Chain A
Amino acid sequence: MSASQPVPAAARLFLSGNEAVARAVWEAGTRVAAAYPGTPSTEILEVLAKYPDLYTEWSVNEKVSLEVALGASMVGARAFCAMKHVGLNVASDALMTMTVTGTEGGLVIAVADDVGMSSSQNEQDSRYWGRFAHLPVLEPADSQEAYAMTRAAFELSERFRTPVILRLTTRICHVKGVVVAGEREAVEPGGFTKDPRRWVMVPGNAKPRLPLMFEREAAVRAEAETSPLNFVVDGSDRRIGFVTSGPAFMHVREAFPDAPVFKLGLSCPPPLDSLGKFAATVDTVLVVEETEPLLETELKAAGIACHGKDVLPRTGELAPDALHLGVARLRGEVVAEPEHVVPQQVFPRPPTMCVACPHLGVYYTLSQMRNVMIAGDIGCYTLGAGHPWNALDSCISMGASMGTALGMDKGRGKVDENKKVVAVIGDSTFMHMGMQGLLDITWNRGNVTVLLLDNRAVGMTGGQDNPGSGRDLHGEETTRVDFAKLCEALGVKKERIRVLDPYQLPVLFKALREETKIEEPSVIITDRPCVLIDHYVPTKPYLVKEDRCTGCGNCVDVGCPAIHVTRRDKEVKASGKEVDLSFVRIDTSACTGCGLCVQPCAPEAIIHAEPVQTLQPVQFVRK
């Protein structure tokens, strides 16, 4: 085979959707960009932070990030914020009013839906916010479009004086493709104009603005009818005409290259007149959208007959094979048997905690406690619900451990009266949305023991800084929150706040036992850094002296991935009870010497090793 050369390589960049959005935000002359990390949106701000001549920040949560962006827009600057789908739930309070005020400087909100749920607690279709808040929604189909639509979003925002939602999905954010980019334009903020009737949203001022919001929506709808972002790709096979948006467009083109396609870029408000005309040119309309039947419902409401979720998957990502199946179902055809081999059953490989993670000690300790209800939260430590610890009983939303723990305490009946209530929350999640919940616990005299796992990073999304790390998005030193003082200020008694080392298991166990016994709010703060950030210092690794290992398996219960079972056996105790034995070895090249596994090892079989190799096989590269 020989390589064809359609475009000279020099003119092209190879960018993920996130990188393409960042590039376009910078080019648009944006002055302020803010975000809270969240998969799959995180990299947008990380990349943007490296561009010159704009202010970028990690905010403490998405609502604050959106408000920061709005403030910048008020003074006439172009502004941007990015978040994952659940982030917009948090920011929605601000969103629902800023649609009434409108914007001054262009304001674009990138929302990344984790379609298929690679790293989220639920699946949501953020396009609903466009309908709910009467805001334009743009949906790119690949990196090039992510770039172009971000540029277009700023123009739309300023033309209609409205926030614009840029709706991304995992298959946009984390897909790399070829992008032809441009240069940064200079945009000077127009300045702040004092105008209480516009910016002070008391009822008397807000009421007259509601009709303006609907006028704007109608104007954007008219724009959608003629916008080049919405177009038809003609096709010869007119049996089915597809209406689609976002990455699904690529799947449709891949699966049905000869079919006519109405491709929506400015998908909200939908151009119903144009869509009606398109429908008249084909036998059947099939709406292909991720994930909710939104356009489908709107088309039907407009009297345009169509199919959609009756033949296509209701959840998760679409792909060309799913479309083939759906169309076959629609046409009443039999689907041909696939030619590939049958998928083989292989053990699951769920994500695990890292070697020497400071959370290991916490979950080992929790797993040894009986009669405890453990309200969990969002972060790496959610993995504590898995094997071998099984020491987390809930995971709902950012900060929810506080409120759910309090509710468990107040709601429990006789059957649970002897149980202890523990809440587990990480440092970033605590500052994001947990502080208010703790205040509610203290104010309402809740009997909850809070484990605040301070690892000085937003661990799950790659170790970003937060107010607890004392560094900003650029890694520069800034104010560092003192968690003990913060908890005290939130009403926890000073003597009920302990800061301790999670690698010291007896200390941790004793503290937990004591604090759960005392019937008032208490906070145990664990204070060791995430092993993936550069503040973590590995020490001398360990090995197992095999002749001393009795196979008790206590070290396996710690859950460190550097400990491997080499042999299993069974033993009958004097009492006649049969117990399982697990003989182990330590992957010394992976071990960083945290010493957790040494503590429950009775026969002292775990001893220091001379390092055979200093490099860890699994090592996070900090961007």
Chain B
Amino acid sequence: MSKVTNILVCGVGGQGVMTATEILAEAAISLGFDVKKTEVAGMSQRGGVVTSHLRFGHEVLSPQILPGEADLLIGFESAEALRWGHMLRPAGVALVNSGRIVPPVVNIGLFDYPEQPVAQMRTLGLRVHDFDATALAVQLGNIRLGNTVMLGASSDWLPFPAEVLRDAVLARFGSRKPKLVDANREAFAAGRRAVAGETLAA
């Protein structure tokens, strides 16, 4: 198999973008793929833009996904998904958290937040599935479950069974924290349901 799968995960520092991509990578590794994952962390920890590139296949050379080459764009935040929309290949799919994180530069009135980031992406001809992952996570009792919701949503768009990703998520918590395992299992399922019926496999 020569094809390399390209997944771009984007969001804001502190949302768990890098951890989510790490889990996706672990799932791909468990299946024996060659995997490369890259991001520029640096100052992103301070609420800046975060993108994480994941590439896997038989052999991966360059770690970077180029514009127009992402199979899947997982947007943890609406405006960030719009910012990175051009990374998708024409037949690619974007899974977008409709939740918003408004930065201080918008707060103090220097810039405007896009009125309808997801609608704007659709106008460009991109294939987008949006849902409020932040609200789902809060409903499940913890905003930090947002990244598991996002992973659940992505799990039916991968070139391997969703269960592989789910197991990789749950393996993070081991048997030490059964409550966390249950909460994450629920969050994963909620994310999967949020985009159900629209999958590539279907």
Give Cα A341–Cα B45 distance, bound, in whole angstroms.
Answer: 28
Stretch of A63-71, A129-137, A501-509, A557-565 on the interface side: A557-565
B25 within 8 A of A: yes
A222 within 8 A of B: no
Q: Are A1 and B159 in contact (CB under 8 A)?
A: yes
Q: Are A116 and B40 in contact (CB under 8 A)?
A: yes
Subset of 24 A-B contacts with CB under 8 Å: A3-B31, A4-B58, A6-B33, A6-B34, A12-B29, A14-B26, A142-B63, A177-B36, A319-B62, A340-B90, A342-B86, A346-B82, A346-B114, A347-B113, A349-B12, A351-B43, A387-B105, A388-B104, A561-B104, A589-B143, A615-B142, A615-B143, A618-B47, A619-B14
Q: With A174-B38, A251-B64, A346-B79 given, can you name 19 additional A-B contacts, CB distance below 8 Å?
A: A3-B159, A8-B32, A14-B29, A114-B42, A118-B40, A176-B22, A177-B34, A178-B29, A250-B61, A254-B62, A319-B62, A338-B67, A346-B117, A347-B111, A352-B48, A353-B46, A354-B47, A618-B13, A620-B45
Q: Are A349 and B48 in contact (CB under 8 A)?
A: yes
B66 within 8 A of A: yes
Contact with A along B1-45 (1 / 0, CB 8 A): 101000000001111000000100110011111111111111111
Using Cβ atoms and an 8 Å threshold, which residues of chain B touch A565?
A: 107-109
CB within 8 Å for A254 and B61 given contacts A171-B38, A340-B86, A340-B90: yes
Give Cα A354–Cα B46 distance, bound, in whole angstroms.
Answer: 6
Using Cβ atoms and an 8 Å threshold, which residues of chain A touch B86?
A: 340-344
Nearest CB of chain A from residue B35's CB, rounded to whole Å = 6
A321 within 8 A of B: yes
Using Cβ atoms and an 8 Å threshold, which residues of chain B touch A482?
A: none
B178 within 8 A of A: no
Q: Are A349 and B49 in contact (CB under 8 A)?
A: yes
How many residues from B make CB contacts under 8 Å with A? 74
Q: Are A340 and B159 in contact (CB under 8 A)?
A: no
B160 within 8 A of A: yes
Nearest CB of chain B from residue A286's CB, rounded to whole Å = 17
Give Cα A253–Cα B117 distance, bound, in whole angstroms.
Answer: 36
- In the complex, which range does the number of interface residues on chain A fall in? 35 or more
Q: Are A582 and B112 in contact (CB under 8 A)?
A: no
B positions within 8 Å CB-CB of A = 1, 3, 12-15, 22, 25-26, 29-49, 58-64, 66-69, 79-80, 82-83, 85-90, 102-114, 117, 120, 124-126, 142-144, 159-160
Question: Which A20-60 residues have a C-beta within 8 angstroms of B?
Answer: 39-40
Q: Are B42 and A339 in contact (CB under 8 A)?
A: no
Contact with B along A1-13 (1 / 0, CB 8 A): 1111111110010
* Chain A residue nearest to B110 in the complex (CB): A387
Give Cα A445–Cα B139 distance, bound, in whole angstroms.
Answer: 62
Q: Are B68 and A348 in contact (CB under 8 A)?
A: no
CB within 8 A of A175: which of B31, B34, B63?
A: B63
Give Cα A40–Cα B40 distance, bound, in whole angstroms.
Answer: 9
Nearest CB of chain B from residue A421's CB, rounded to whole Å = 28
Q: Are A564 and B107 in contact (CB under 8 A)?
A: yes
Give Cα A351–Cα B69 distance, bound, in whole angstroms.
Answer: 27
Nearest CB of chain A from residue B145's CB, rounded to whole Å = 10
* Chain B residue nearest to A116 in the complex (CB): B40
A119 within 8 A of B: yes
Using Cβ atoms and an 8 Å threshold, which residues of chain A touch B60?
A: 177
Give Cα A582–Cα B113 distance, bound, in whole angstroms.
Answer: 16
Contact with B along A327-363 (1 / 0, CB 8 A): 0000000000011111110111111111000000000
Using Cβ atoms and an 8 Å threshold, which residues of chain A touch B15?
A: 617
* Chain A residue nearest to B32 in the complex (CB): A5
Using Cβ atoms and an 8 Å threshold, which residues of chain A touch B40?
A: 116, 118, 170, 174
A580 within 8 A of B: yes
Nearest CB of chain A from residue B113's CB, rounded to whole Å = 7
Q: Are B14 and A617 in contact (CB under 8 A)?
A: yes
Q: Are A339 and B90 in contact (CB under 8 A)?
A: yes
